[in-house]
Structure 1
Amino acid sequence: MRWVVLVLLFFGMIINFADKSIIGLAAVPIMEDLNLSYAQWGIVGSSYYWLYPVTGIFGAALADRIGAKKMLGFLMLTWAVLQFGVLAIAALPFLVLYRVLLGAFEGPFSPVAYSHAHKWFPPKLRGFANSVVVSGATVGAMIVAPLLVALIEILGWKMAFAALGAASIVWAVAFQLLTKESPAEVYEQAKQKQTKKLEKLDIKAFLLLLASPAALFTTLAYFSTYCLVVWFSVWLPIYLVEVINMTAGQMGMAVAVIGIASTLIYIGVSSLSDYLFKRNQNWRLSRVFVVAASMIAGALCMTSILAFQHPVWVIAAMCLAKGLTYTILPIGPTIMINEMPERGGLMTSILTSSGNIAGIVAPALTGFIISLTPSNEVFGHNLSILFMAVLILVFSALFLYFVKPATNVEGEGQAEGEDLLQKSN
């Protein structure tokens, strides 16, 4: 059952990020149809994240109470309604409203998915499991880009959005029919224990925990990487077409290549982290050092694009930059959940929602940076890349220096016991 859950979470994340990224792939026809400027397009990209952090926290906290299965099914159905609603969009205000509402209902998905995978896998496999879930984001945002571009060109951008709505309905039905909330015997024990703890959450202690170095600098590192996540989603297609001079078809293939290569990279790094953790049980070495080193290397690859803008190197550097910096996405949730295991959904939502504040700032800021140099758009795009790289370098260094995760022996032992119980059953 754990592998069925993981596969469906993987496909759910594909839909989640396809919903996010299709707006960037359809940027040119949308801007032409609605007569939008770069500044207005930056607002469209930013609007998705206006409610995302808030609903992410409350949605994940609610999922801790009612169960991930019900919450994820409900979220998918709301996405379907909104994607079909795109057919009625005829002006900028409606496009912004659609993006705000889509972001609001997609906000809880990632933290709930990470927390749900956490329940089904023991510590020695959680890095891998989360990397599979995260890889669904890359598939949805990049690898399926040629398919989405083809849908946009054949059906028009509105019908392409509606097709994603249909995929959401299929997923919601499959998830309800094929999965369970958690391992049966363990769930009954955990449910009683969790219900008691949920009623006695110490708000002051919780806020102090969020301000601790482990939680604070993990969140900031996630934030810096998510600036790049948003850049890849909103601005990469435009960058490849207008700066690197690719056609729409070439752009779609390049985005897919970047997605495939980067997925293999961060799954490999996450598996390395799991391997080191299994051998030494050392959080600093296996989680923090591996992630920080990868992020720093990825940021340096990103800066190399400023000096070498040959299309082949741009794609190669993007593969490395995305794959290496994204390692915080699967490993970060394991660090946060480790700080308060009984509140896994809530802790992960704090991480993802706080990090996704980048989604509010980054698209609009990128549009503003590019608009500063209207006579030299190449320089503006390069300046935005430099900004992303420096941000990641700074916060990954802080993450490396300050984050010293707690050793949660009880939680680790319980998870291993759950794993043995599942095997015996």
Structure 2
Amino acid sequence: MMRWFILLLLFLGAVVNFADKSIIGLAAAPIMKEFNLSPVEWGLVGSSYYWLYPVTGIFGAALADKYGTKKILAVVMLSWTALQFGVLAIAALPLLIVYRVLLGAFEGPYSPIAYNHADKWFPPKLKGFANSMIVGGGTVGAMIAAPILVSLITIFGWKIAFAILGAVSFVWFLLFQFFTKENPVEVYKEVQKNKKAKIEKLKLKDFLLLLASPTALFTTLAYFSTYILVVWFSVWLPIYLVESIKMSPAQMGYGVMVIGIVSVVIYTGISMLSDYLFKKNQNWRSSRVFVVGGSMIVGALLFASIMIFQNPIWVITALCIAKGLAYTILPIGPTIMINEMRERGGLMTSILTSSGNLAGIVAPLLTGYIISLAGGDKLAGYNLSILFMAGAVFIFGLLFTIFVKPSILKGKDKDQGLDYLESKTS
């Protein structure tokens, strides 16, 4: 039961993480009015969140490998609490920017540490599913958090709404701190009475060689290419559906919701299929790499098809499937990276999430530039951006399929407690 409670908390943590990111946009109008901000100043506020996000993602994950994922997650959540309550003291633009920089800095480590924590609790046959639930927290947050946050902002004002999110983070901290364990070995200590895992000092040269290996390199590039798509869906999809597909705002809203729901079902289902295949054959290439790579390739082709077939029904259908297929790298990628250096699982997953964060910084600007190349023809501009992203996902999905060859599962001793827990709960 504890593993499922932990997964629920990690899922809810991802929802809070998304809500913390998105509430600034939902509160844009009252904040800009209160501080008399120009669009340029508001753009500075928006981008400041990501200034330290990629760096602290790696640093925080490395600390989690050394001191334990549970402890660092607790520190992270307490930081979110303090910062969201600190909003009550913001009275000018500089403080608002400092708040966003610090919030991004402390939210950066969440995803890689959450993946690593789940990896300790779930056997290989469930790792893909567990990670897909964490990924899904952001998607579900996009559908559930937005209307709730808008209501809170409308009723209580933007500062109180931020503080309420801080209170939610504190409740999460209490539940996670007092009702969970670091790993299954703490639950069944008799499995490893005389064994204490010691993390050897990491040699920079060896680590860089590992990152340059085909498995780590092309897994990271595949993740990066998909995250460009992630950003496009969050930033450009609504306006694309209205301006190019000629949907009404109401139709666009329902379309975005349907795409979100169906895509979660698809990438969760494929993650479960990958887990099932791994359980049957214990083969990383056939159960993980081929499933993810094939999904990315097909997803890229479906995404590209909306340049040709622009009937609204087909566009929504194609985007539902394309998003679900392309996103399979998000839950499975961390599993592959952790396997390459299990004793540094948090650090390895942080490489992936930081590459995604870099895409979050670059992709909106790059997409805007690509669209501008078409001049006044917005449809041609959107199609050009779609072609670029579909091409990137297709190429890196293909390279991922060809070159990624994960090592045979390492760290067997580390998994003994998990194996024991599995025998008790299955």
Please indicate the TM-score interval, normalised by the length of the shorter structure: 0.7 to 0.9
Contact kept? 1:42, 1:366, Cα under 8 Å = no
Q: Distance in 1 between matches of 2:202 and 2:130?
A: 28
SS for the counterpart of 1:197 is: coil
Moved more, 257-266 or 297-306: 297-306
The answer for the alignment partner of 1:296 in structure 2 is 297
The answer for the alignment partner of 1:221 in structure 2 is 222
Q: Which amino acid aligns with 2:68?
A: G
The answer for the alignment partner of 1:15 in structure 2 is 16
Matched, 1:415 2:415: yes
The answer for the alignment partner of 1:406 in structure 2 is 407
Q: Distance in 2 between matches of 1:418 and 1:308?
A: 49
The answer for the alignment partner of 2:328 in structure 1 is 327
The answer for the alignment partner of 1:130 in structure 2 is 131
What is the deviation of 1:122? 1.0
The answer for the alignment partner of 1:36 in structure 2 is 39
What is the deviation of 1:333? 0.8
Q: What TM-score, normalized to structure 2? A: 0.87
Contact kept? 2:262, 2:324, Cα under 8 Å = yes
Q: Distance in 2 between matches of 1:27 and 1:247?
A: 23
Matched, 1:112 2:148: no
* % identical equivalent positions: 68
Q: Would the alpha carbon gap of residues 231 and 420 (structure 1) be closer, same or farther in structure 2, given more than 3 Å must change? A: same
Contact kept? 1:48, 1:359, Cα under 8 Å = no
What is the deviation of 1:236? 3.0
Q: Which amino acid aligns with 2:218?
A: F
The answer for the alignment partner of 1:396 in structure 2 is 397
Deviations 1:266-311 (A, max 9, x none): 0100011011111111111100000011111112222222233444
Q: Distance in 1 between matches of 2:375 and 2:93?
A: 22
Q: Would the alpha carbon gap of residues 306 and 411 (structure 1) be closer, same or farther in structure 2, given more than 3 Å must change? A: same
The answer for the alignment partner of 2:213 in structure 1 is 212
What is the deviation of 1:389? 1.6
Contact kept? 1:13, 1:136, Cα under 8 Å = yes
The answer for the alignment partner of 1:175 in structure 2 is 176
Contact kept? 1:42, 1:365, Cα under 8 Å = no
What is the deviation of 1:5? 0.5
SS for the counterpart of 2:411 is: helix
The answer for the alignment partner of 2:103 in structure 1 is 102
Contiguous gaps of at least 5 residues in structure 2 = none
What is the deviation of 1:185? 5.3
What is the deviation of 1:152? 5.3
Q: Distance in 2 between matches of 1:314 and 1:90?
A: 44
Deviations 1:56-79 (A, max 9, x none): 111011112222222112212222
Q: Distance in 2 between matches of 1:317 and 1:41?
A: 34
Matched, 1:346 2:347: yes
RMSD: 3.1
Q: Which amino acid aligns with 1:120?
A: W
Q: Distance in 2 between matches of 1:151 and 1:62?
A: 35
SS for the counterpart of 1:336 is: helix
SS for the counterpart of 2:39 is: coil
Larger relative CO (CA 8 A, sep 6+): 1 or 2?
Answer: 1
Contiguous gaps of at least 5 residues in structure 1 = none
Contact kept? 1:25, 1:237, Cα under 8 Å = no
Q: Distance in 2 between matches of 1:114 and 1:178?
A: 19
